[in-house]
């Protein structure tokens, strides 16, 4: 799209539609998301929030039907498993299609039909599964093939697809063609909307036509933090991921430099992650919607208290991070405009609307999004997704980045920002570098770390879980960097078979 004269927003929109086919378990019309848009002309930054809302508008009584549960293994070296809550009762109101249409109307240059066309072609012709895509489908197989509709798509001949085989999505292609011709109305009204409501309601969910009619995109101002002379901008509350990244960077700003990959550097990141988890306690959930959370967390007194706790080794707080199925796209165009897009179906509900190819999200079943109880109908759910941009001391774009990984994505993004800005790594190396994640009482260390440094961490009392290889457990990022000489570099995450391209317009 950039080569055709489009801008960063056009490229993100086209990539989002294409991802609905190439990463069908992770995103698509049944998802929600966010797009950060930074304009070079006036250096303004806005966030389009089209994340999911709670269903049930117009109902006298919410059924809140029972969700199905499945136990899914991560396929890593350490038998890491997670419980997923899925089914019709887990489906929230999707927002991605309206979000893409709204951002296109506000900022797009190319015709809408051109942006949807490649995805339709991919869906009709089929996509050849890579090793990483096939592995992802293997992990999520109990969800993807939960229903007859899922089995029709993901195992039409009885067996699931493997790497090298071609998957086509003809029903989804029909839906995308309708969206191409009619815009978002083809999704939120008419026969597909009716099919969504009917399928979800018959399965115990609360989705109504009133929910689809009432959905709106919300424009927000970014949360901001300073790190090593750079300004970090990302998704504000009521989403929770970026404010925690900003909090972590603010703490790291005061903790001084460490050698990348050393035991000291890993321990510092681990302790900051513990502080991020601690910050999610108390009034955090209510403050996400009430306001004032970012100001409180980023206040000097709060940062100083966190540093004191790190110094004194305060007791850890437990938080178990679920797997999150998110797709992220980062783009910088020839005019210096940046767009950062994250969309997600969560881990997926297993519900595919018959005859449409629409794979519904399971956001009401995500433990890190629904805290304590299901919010009232029409309320925007919180999210960990954090499409982000970092501006250099002169105010120019330095890095555009985002990641998949649910609660782990905040750690992935924070570590990439540190790698690029503090350690001077290129974006490809910064994304590929081994990561860590704290899941109390364990410190998960990805394959590629120096074993001697991990030995030192164990001597310091850390319960280190050593992964032999890179794994999508640690997130799936994408980023674009503006190098010192003004040239661009782009990278996807090898953990997810991601890719980055620099296009000459």
* Contact (Cβ atoms closer than 8 angstroms) between residue 323 and residue 50: no
Could you say which DSSP state residue 407 is in?
Answer: G
**CA-closest candidate to residue 250, choices 313, 292, 306:** 306
How are the residues of the chain apportioned to helix, strand and coil, as percentages rounded to the nearest 5?
40, 20, 40
Given the residues 268, 326, 382, 397, select the one marked as catalytic. 326
Q: Let me know the angle formed at the C-alpha of 213 by 211 and 219, rounded to the nearest 5 degrees.
A: 90
Close Cβ partners of 331 (under 8 Å, ≥ 6 residues apart): 2, 8, 11, 12, 15, 338, 339, 340, 341, 400, 480
C-alpha 392/C-alpha 431 separation (Å) is 19
Q: Does residue 326 carry a catalytic annotation?
A: yes
Burial 102-133 (b: 16+ CB within 10 A, else e): bbbeebbebebebbbbbbbebbbeebebeebb
**CB proximity list for 284: less than 8 A, separation 6 or greater:** 240, 293
Cα–Cα nearest to 385, from 398, 366, 371: 366
CA-based nearest residue to 351, from 218, 153, 137: 153
Task: Say if residue 79 is exposed, middle or buried (CB neighbours under 10 Å; 0-12, 13-18, 19+).
Answer: exposed
CA atoms within 13 A on the CB side of 12: 41
Closest CA to 408 of 269, 315, 314, 293: 269
Query: Which residue from 442, 458, 448, 395 is spatially nearest to 419, judged by alpha carbons?
Result: 448
Tokens at 124, concatenated: 């009709």
Q: Name the helix (H) or strand (E) containing 265.
A: helix 263-279
**Integer-rounded Cα radius of gyration of the chain:** 21
Region of residue 204 (phi > 0: left; psi between -120 and 50: alpha; otherwise: beta): left
DSSP three-state, residue 65 = coil
Distance in angstroms (rounded) separating the CA atoms of residues 38 and 46: 7
Residues labelled as active-site residues:
326
């Amino acid at each position: 799209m950039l080569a055709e004269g489009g801008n960063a927003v056009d490229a993100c929109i086209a990539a989002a539609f294409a991802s609905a086919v190439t990463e069908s378990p992770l995103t698509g019309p049944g998802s929600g998301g966010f797009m950060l848009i930074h304009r070079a002309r006036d250096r303004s930054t806005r966030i389009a929030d089209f994340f999911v809302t709670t269903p049930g508008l117009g109902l006298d009584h919410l059924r809140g039907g029972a969700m199905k549960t499945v136990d899914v293994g991560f396929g890593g070296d350490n038998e890491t498993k997670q419980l997923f809550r899925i089914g019709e009762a887990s489906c929230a109101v999707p927002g991605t299609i309206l979000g893409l249409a709204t951002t296109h109307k506000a900022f797009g240059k190319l015709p809408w039909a051109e942006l949807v066309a490649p995805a339709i072609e991919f869906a009709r012709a089929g996509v050849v599964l890579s090793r990483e895509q096939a592995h992802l489908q293997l992990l999520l197989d109990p969800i993807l093939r939960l229903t007859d509709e899922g089995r029709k798509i993901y195992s039409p001949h009885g067996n699931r697809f493997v790497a090298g085989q071609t998957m086509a999505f003809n029903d989804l292609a029909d839906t995308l063609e309708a969206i191409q011709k009619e815009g978002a109305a083809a999704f939120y009204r008419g026969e597909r909307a009716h099919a969504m409501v009917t399928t979800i309601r018959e399965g115990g969910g609360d989705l109504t036509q009133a929910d689809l009619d009432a959905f709106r995109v919300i424009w927000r101002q970014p949360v901001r933090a300073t790190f090593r002379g750079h300004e970090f901008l990302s998704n504000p509350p009521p989403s929770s991921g970026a404010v925690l990244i900003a909090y972590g960077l603010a703490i790291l700003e005061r903790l001084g430099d460490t050698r990348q990959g050393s035991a000291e550097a890993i321990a510092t990141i681990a302790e900051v992650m513990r502080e991020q988890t601690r910050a999610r306690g108390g009034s955090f959930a209510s403050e996400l919607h009430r306001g004032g959370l970012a100001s409180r967390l980023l206040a000097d007194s709060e940062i100083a208290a966190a540093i004191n706790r790190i110094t004194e080794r305060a007791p850890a707080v437990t938080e178990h991070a679920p797997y999150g199925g998110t797709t992220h796209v980062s783009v910088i165009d020839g005019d210096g405009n940046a767009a950062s897009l994250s969309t997600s179906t969560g881990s997926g509900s297993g519900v595919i609307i018959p005859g449409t190819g629409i794979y519904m999200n399971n956001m009401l079943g995500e433990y890190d999004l629904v805290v304590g109880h299901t919010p009232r109908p029409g309320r925007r759910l919180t999210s960990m997704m954090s499409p982000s941009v970092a501006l250099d001391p002169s105010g120019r774009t330095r890095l555009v980045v985002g990641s998949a990984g649910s609660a782990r994505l905040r750690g992935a993004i924070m570590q990439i920002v540190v790698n690029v800005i503090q350690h001077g790594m290129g974006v490809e190396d910064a994304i590929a570098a081994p990561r860590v994640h704290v899941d109390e009482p364990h410190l998960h260390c990805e394959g590629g770390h120096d074993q001697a440094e991990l030995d030192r961490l164990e001597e310091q009392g850390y319960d280190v879980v050593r992964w032999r290889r890179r794994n999508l457990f640690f997130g799936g990022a994408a980023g674009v960097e503006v190098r010192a000489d003004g040239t661009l570099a782009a990278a996807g995450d090898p953990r997810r078979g991601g890719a980055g391209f620099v296009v000459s317009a």
